Structure 1
Amino acid sequence: MPRVLGLLWLLLPGLAALEPLSVGLAIGVASALTGYLSSNPRFYCRYVECCPGAGHRLNAAALKAQLDAKLFGQHLAKDVVLKAVTGFNTNPSPKKPLTLSLHGWAGTGKNFLSQILAEHVHPAGLSSKFVHLFLATLHFPHQEQVKEYKEQLQNWIRGNVSACPYSVFIFDEMDKMHPGLMDAIKPFLDYYEQVDGVSYRKAIFIFLSNAGGDLINKAALDFWTSGKSREEIQLKDLEPMLSVGVFNNKNSGLWHSSLIDRNLIDYFVPFLPLEHKHVKMCVRAEMTARGHAVDEKIVQAVADEMTFFPKDQKIYSDKGCKTVQAKLDIQEDIAMSNNQAEG
């Protein structure tokens, strides 16, 4: 009712100047409109974001197409996440929430993938009232307040899942989370039908972390050194090592966590370090997104500005594609200045 009255007030700016009888009539119309919208949810949800109904199905083909077109060099992450999300979404009665832990160095696509996934569950993506992003350094900055954070986190998750069972929770900077904090959400990730009358089984939890990146990079380099293609790397080659490494890492946010000990994280998803060719793909994609024609000279110039490791072979970008936008700005400015000078 308040939402409809507010909308009516915007549509009728002279409402405040109306005499009481007219105002009463307007409120009556608003009440009738509220009743109509309540009985016609499809119409109502065209204008107000609604939680998906039980029959909602994620468009797996569209998700795959977007990941193929926009996420570069991450065959493992794309395959694992696509299968996990599709299976979870088509299961009418999942036994627990879907919980994914994404690991890798900065700039490899963890945030990007989580945003794309959120948009396919809720079209508004990170702007959706059903998608919730937590940043360790912003929302949980003080070690001495961990007890209060745990209580706040539980209340926040409980309230939002009560409002929409299909809520998505993204925890970024997991490697900066205070030890023990994430154990507060263990009851919500477990195999319980309900917790205090609320079912969490249709929610999605995503953890993003740089922890384990060194382990992933070493494994990728070992494959390269042995003459194998990165596409030959399988989840079984990395996931066991990754889960153990994160569990024993005091700076992982999941150090000795019950979430790992109780096997409540469904997949540890490795993001591989990006090679020269992947950086160039990022540059081309960014130029296209800006509406610019792809200039291979600029693409190469941006790639040349990036730094790579190991020191001798220079195979992998040490920042992934994280600084591509800033370096592209500079190279496009240089190209424009050169064109003007030549003209």
Structure 2
Amino acid sequence: MTRNPSKALALSFHGGPGTGKNYVSTILADNIFKKGMRSKYVHLISAAQKYSHEDNRSVYKDMLKEEVENGAKHCHQSLFIIDDIDKMPAGILDILKPYLTSYRHLNGINYRQLIFLFLSNTAAESITKLAIDQWQTGSERTDIRLKEMEDIISTVSINSKGGFYHSDIIYRHMISAYIPFLPLERRHIKQCIRDFLVAKLYYKREEIPENKVSKIAGKMTYYPKDVEVFSVYGCKRIEEKVILLIG
């Protein structure tokens, strides 16, 4: 944000539902733009909603190209959040290649300071397996190295159905970093519950009854079945569980 980068920043977020991909995207938007996600310089694109039909690839490419170019014209540091990459037909993302290279100017526009966030469930199973293996050995999740995860994520992504399937964006190393969102443990779910109770004014943080937190957390679904360590839905469904149990 403060220097002249050699290319646009492209971060690819991978993980299962409720692990924080959209949440972190919102945090980034809130800290870059005064209006956060409501800023006209933040472009949220749901591939599942906007690019859902396999037969419309050429139309979708033109749509995405136009949105990026118009966004860059109005703000050279525009943020593009493309959600549900795994729901996008293959080949569409390759239209972004010119904007993810090191061109100083392209048709008179500098694209180097754009930020792209790609959100996907792709490789969630592989991320989860590694997290479970790590837990079973008694190691901390923080011991998992990013390089190890990036190799797994990029390999799975390029070979899985979806927007990254055989994509030149991956083959040509245009992704700045692959960010794994690990499955949330029961202790993380309790943190989410406490935050929600405070945010919705059910309790002041220091007054939250721990038995209430444990009861709500106990209504969530966990895996593996024999030990129930990781949340199936992450922090999703917490709101409905709180409303059902507390009102």
Task: Please report the TM-score for the alignment, with normalisation by the length of structure 1.
Answer: 0.69
Q: Which has the higher contact order (CA 8 A, sep 6+)?
A: 2
Between Structure 1 and Structure 2, the one with more strand by share is 2
Between Structure 1 and Structure 2, the one with more helix by share is 1
Corresponding residue for 1:190? 101
What does 1:90-105 align with in structure 2 at a 5 Å threshold?
A: 90=2, 92-105=3-16
1:263 to 154, 163, 173: 173
Corresponding residue for 2:236? 322
Matched residues in 2 for 1:194 and 1:151: separation? Answer: 20
The structure number with the bigger radius of gyration is 1
Pairwise CA RMSD:
1.0
Is the counterpart of residue 279 in structure 1 residue 189 in structure 2? yes
Deviation at residue 261 of structure 1 after TM alignment: 0.6
What does 1:171-210 align with in structure 2 at a 5 Å threshold?
A: 171-210=82-121
Deviation at residue 237 of structure 1 after TM alignment: 2.3
Corresponding residue for 1:241? 152
Matched residues in 1 for 2:170 and 2:53: separation? Answer: 24
Is the counterpart of residue 119 in structure 1 residue 33 in structure 2? no
Corresponding residue for 2:213? 299
Matched residues in 2 for 1:191 and 1:163: separation? Answer: 20
Corresponding residue for 2:56? 145
Deviation at residue 244 of structure 1 after TM alignment: 0.9
What does 1:154-173 align with in structure 2 at a 5 Å threshold?
A: 154-173=65-84
Indicate the larger mover: 309-318 or 99-108.
309-318
Aligned with 1:331: secondary structure? Answer: helix
Deviation at residue 136 of structure 1 after TM alignment: 1.0
Deviation at residue 193 of structure 1 after TM alignment: 1.1
Matched residues in 1 for 2:216 and 2:97: separation? Answer: 44
Corresponding residue for 2:136? 225
- Matched AA of 1:311: K
Superposed CA deviations along residues 63-82 of structure 1, whole A, max 9, x for unmatched, are xxxxxxxxxxxxxxxxxxxx
Unpaired segments ≥5 residues, structure 2: none
Deviation at residue 329 of structure 1 after TM alignment: 0.8
Matched residues in 2 for 1:240 and 1:142: separation? Answer: 30
Aligned with 1:270: secondary structure? Answer: strand
Deviation at residue 145 of structure 1 after TM alignment: 1.3
Deviation at residue 297 of structure 1 after TM alignment: 2.2
- Matched AA of 1:141: S
Superposed CA deviations along residues 123-168 of structure 1, whole A, max 9, x for unmatched, are 2111100000000122112221110110111111111101110100
**Runs of 4+ in structure 1 over 2 Å off:** none
Deviation at residue 295 of structure 1 after TM alignment: 2.5
- Matched AA of 1:257: S
Q: What is the number of residues matched between the two proteins?
A: 243
